[in-house]
Amino acid sequence: MEKFYTTTAIDYVNGAPHIGHAYEKILTDVIYRHFSQRCDNAYFLTGTDEHGIKIQKTSAQNGISPQEFCDMNAQKFKDAWRALDINYSQFIRTTDEQHERIVQKIFKKLVDKGDIYKHSYTGLYCSGCEAFLSEKDLTEDGLCPDHLKKPEVVKEENYFFKLTKYKDAIIKHIKTHPDFIVPSFRVNEVLNQLENIEDISVSRVKSNVSWGVPVENDPEQVIYVWIDALSNYITAIGYDPENPNDGSEKFRTLWPADVQVIGKDILKFHSIYWPAILMALDLPLPKHILAHGWITIDEAKMSKSLGNVISPTGVLEAFELSIPDPFRYYMASAAPCGKDGNYSDEDFKEKVNAHLANSMGNLLNRTLSMLVKYFDGDIKPEFLGKNELTAQALETVKAVKHHFDYFEVQEASQKIIELVDITNKYVTDNAPWTLAKEGNTEKCGIVLTNVLQVMTVIASLIYPYCPNIAGEMAKQLSYDITTKLDDITCDTLRAGHLINKEDIKPVFLRVDSELAEKKK
């Protein structure tokens, strides 16, 4: 692979980040880190959406300017992602000067092309969605289905984008690129939405919404969310509609995006509105739009009224975790591709203890301990060369890559744990402690070395989920964790001294262990 460019949805800063935001960022970070192991030019964009009526109203209620409010809340998202080791390449804010400038140029280009026109309009506006809704979008009681509030009737003269002009082209693209929308069971949903689309409002009257990017040459209008927010995916990497080559070298290298990760609730905007805007700009479409599901809490939808909204770092604090890896692993493996997942304290504790502490961590710890006990931490030349687990390990690498090609992050994690379980069974079946006791030292050394060779593969595969744990595993194995997946051979260990007793440490302590509670 020459490059890999992935993005998340940009989060609206009207409130603090919660576990749903964290799920999307962790999922994308795991995908990004995996593909970083397969190419040298991987890029990960995330950020915040900072314009609109809700920001305007909430900042006024808090007695501060919209910009101050955005600055305060954008930092909360940055702090949360830092705590979760979200290794993004760039964090864009839609209040960034460069973004606003390019958005104005994009808007002007579409006006000049005739794809944006001015039109008087009376519509049903939901401030929660920041969107105009049609009657068919509402519930039987006339409410917004997402916010369960009655939209207000708004009459304005706004600029509209000719979405209907691109309807047939979008349908054709979806049908000729069956993997454009992931998972595939979302395709019919989008095709059904396309049947009744109308042109969309892309500006608001400044007297009603003042917090937005001004329309050049029309000071009474501000650019509405779709042109502003959706364009971040190209403005961030240097797109410029006035440049004959359409922007910077970074843009020409990275675009189109390889996958754009978004929640299923905003799939319509990313699979219909966004492709139409790109077509109007004569730009290629993203290769894939990945619509993930929602995270429920103890099988209940998150709700302020239920009091079950969890902050991204709340789990780390509750379990006194010094690294975010357990939470990252749990969230990334919480749901099959595109389906809903669930978080519960008990399931979290049970799963990470079973997979990360008991199975994977204990496997490495006891194998290294036996190497020290029986061979002073040395790998002898006669221990190398024969490994019954090699084929299984290399097949797992291929399987994990295959799952990531389809963004099946949970499914890939299951393959990794299967390899851990197979290796644990190999240890049990061969009983190196018995071999040592019986004086069959060479066979004992071969078994231990075979396991440690496979552990280097496991370290590489688990790295996107658990970068800190994988780093500690690699350190104890004297293994280069930056090894590309295509270069894995399962024979990186060499004859010589590997480790001393004092350097063997648990890579992850059980959440409820006595040692964990004593912070040892």
| Catalytic residue from among 70, 78, 99, 144 | 144
Rounded to whole angstroms, the Cα distance separating 344 from 140 reads 34
Contact, 130 vs 55, CB < 8 A?
Answer: no
Rounded to whole angstroms, the Cα distance separating 410 from 332 reads 6
Annotated active-site residue 129? The verdict is yes
Provide DSSP, 172-218: HHHHH-TTSEESGGGHHHHHHHHTT---EE-EEETTT--SSEEETTE
Annotated active-site residue 147? The verdict is yes
Annotated active-site residue 301? The verdict is yes
Largest CA distance in the chain: 90
| Catalytic residue from among 304, 518, 519, 520 | 304
- Which pairs with CB-CB distance under 8 Å and at least 24 residues apart come from 211-219? 211/51, 211/52, 211/53, 211/55, 211/56, 211/59, 211/66, 212/51, 212/52, 213/51, 213/94, 213/100, 213/103, 213/104, 214/104, 215/104, 215/107, 215/159, 216/104, 216/107, 216/108
Rounded to whole angstroms, the Cα distance separating 493 from 452 reads 8
| Catalytic residue from among 25, 34, 70, 129 | 129
Please state, as a whole number, how many other Cβ atoms lie within 10 Å of the Cβ of residue 144: 20
| Catalytic residue from among 25, 99, 126, 355 | 126
Annotated active-site residue 402? The verdict is no
Residue 27 half-sphere exposure, CB side, CA atoms within 13 Å?
35
Contact, 309 vs 196, CB < 8 A?
Answer: no
Which tokens belong to 70?
Answer: 């955005």
Annotated active-site residue 105? The verdict is no
Rounded to whole angstroms, the Cα distance separating 18 from 25 reads 11
| Catalytic residue from among 113, 119, 147, 505 | 147
Annotated active-site residue 355? The verdict is no
Closest CA to 473 of 348, 333, 483, 43: 483
Between vectors from CA 232 to CA 228 and to CA 237, what angle results, nearest 5°? 145
Annotated active-site residue 21? The verdict is yes
β-pairing, 259-263 vs 289-292, is parallel
Residues found in the chain: 520
Annotated active-site residue 270? The verdict is no
Q: Which residues are catalytic?
A: 18, 21, 126, 129, 144, 147, 301, 304
